[in-house]
Amino acid sequence: MPTTSPAAEPVAGAAGPSAPGGPPGADAPRPDRDVAGLGRARALGFVAPALLVIAVFLVFPAVWTIYLGLLDYSLTGAGAQAPTFVGLGNYLDALSDPGFTRSLWLTLLYVGGSAVVGQNVLGFLLAWYLRGARRVVRPVLTVLVLLAWILPGSVVAFLWQALLDRRAGTLNTLLGTADQAWVLDHPMWVIVVFNVWRGTAFSMLLYTAALSSVPRSHLEVARMSGASGWQQLRDVVLPTVRRHVLTNTLLITLWTFNDFSPYLLTGGGPNGASEILPVYIYREAIIGGHLGYGSAISLLLLLANLVIAVFYLRVLRGRKDES
């Protein structure tokens, strides 16, 4: 326990008995001693409001999805008056809907291309490069990457529309490719590149922090024994930052899975060619009013997220046991 003043030490014992709900042995030096004399009852009272809001607006919707997905609930028509129980009907509908299977495939492409590979690799390379970068290059590049990340989603979506516009877009002007309709011709490429641009900052920051934890002496030893840059990276750096790589990959995967911002750029179009699952759910459930069907798809999305998270935790635990 970090005690800054030794005089305070015996006081803890004196304060202990006055906290009736306190843990047994409250006078033992432990980090979570009830020093303010809060007592367990009041402590629970402190935690309760936060837990209540989380329970109502986060946990309950997640659980309710399971039930809703089994109904033919909709905003209009017969399903609005008296939703009936359709069991796994919504799931069977989903599997037979080519729009859903295409959407699932596009989501995997989007997540794999823009997050797992794009943001991950570019973020790592940026962090690696910026460690030794010149004084001018480092702040300029860092600020640009961060700006892409912190600006509001609606703004960056419009910036990209302006960049890619068919007639007057900046990109067509620069490349001399007049009348090239990027968004219509290559919608998936557009949203993948957009998301790399948008989200690389997080990976860069996380890897910057991770790389600073790699002992310099290890790198020097490797360099002196003649290891090339690539060998240093593979044999010294990667083993050290492996946990960070996993954490980063998990977070950006989950975020990208649920990312709605491509909707602002392509609207899922043309003809659903960039309709990833979040956009598909939005169109089916909120626009189309098929709430039961939308819930079923949402649950599939939640389950996919859960599988990813559990897989990551297992890998992480496996790594820990190894070392």
Partner 1 sequence: MNPAVRHVLGRVGAYVVVCLLVVFFALPLLWLVLTPFTPNPTYRASLSGFTLDNFAALVDNPQVWPSIRNSLVLAGGSALLVIALAALAAYALSRVRVPGRDQLLYALLLLSSIVTGTAAMVPIFLMLFQLGLIDRQLGVVLVLTGGLLPAAVFMLKDFVDGVPRSYEESARVFGARPNQVLRHVVLPVIRPGMATVGVWALVQVWGNFLVPYVLLANPSKQPAAVVMYTFYDAGGQPDFALISTFALVYSVPVVVLYLVVNRRYGFAFQGGIKG
Choosing from 108, 141, 246, 315, the residue that interacts with partner 1 (CB under 8 A) is 141
Choosing from 108, 146, 188, 245, the residue that interacts with partner 1 (CB under 8 A) is 146
CB 31 within 8 A of CB 1: yes
Smallest distance, partner 1 to C-beta of residue 221, A: 22
User: Binding marks (x or -) toward partner 1, 232..261, rule CB under 8 A?
Assistant: -------------------x--xx--xxxx
Separation between Cα atoms, residue 55 and residue 207, nearest integer Å: 33
Identity of the residue, 61 or 215, whose beta carbon is nearer to partner 1 in the bound complex: 61
Separation between Cα atoms, residue 139 and residue 113, nearest integer Å: 27
CB 229 within 8 A of CB 125: no
224 binds partner 1 (CB under 8 A): no
- 143 to 27, 149, 315: CA distances (angstroms): 49, 10, 34
DSSP assigned state of 28: S
User: Binding marks (x or -) toward partner 1, 165..204, rule CB under 8 A?
Assistant: x-xxxxx-xx----------------------xxx--x--
Smallest distance, partner 1 to C-beta of residue 209, A: 7
Counting residues that bind partner 1 (by CB under 8 A) gives 106
DSSP assigned state of 133: -
Taking phi over 0 as left and psi of -120 to 50 as alpha, with beta for the rest, 306 belongs to alpha
User: Binding marks (x or -) toward partner 1, 260..299, rule CB under 8 A?
Assistant: xx--x------------xx--xx--xx----x--xx--x-
| Dihedral sign, Cα of residue 230, residue 233, residue 236, residue 239 | negative
35 phi and psi angles, rounded to 5 deg: -70, -25
Choosing from 28, 117, 178, 209, the residue that interacts with partner 1 (CB under 8 A) is 209
Residues 35-94 that bind partner 1 (CB under 8 A): 35-40, 42-44, 46-47, 49-51, 53-54, 56-62, 64-65, 68, 73
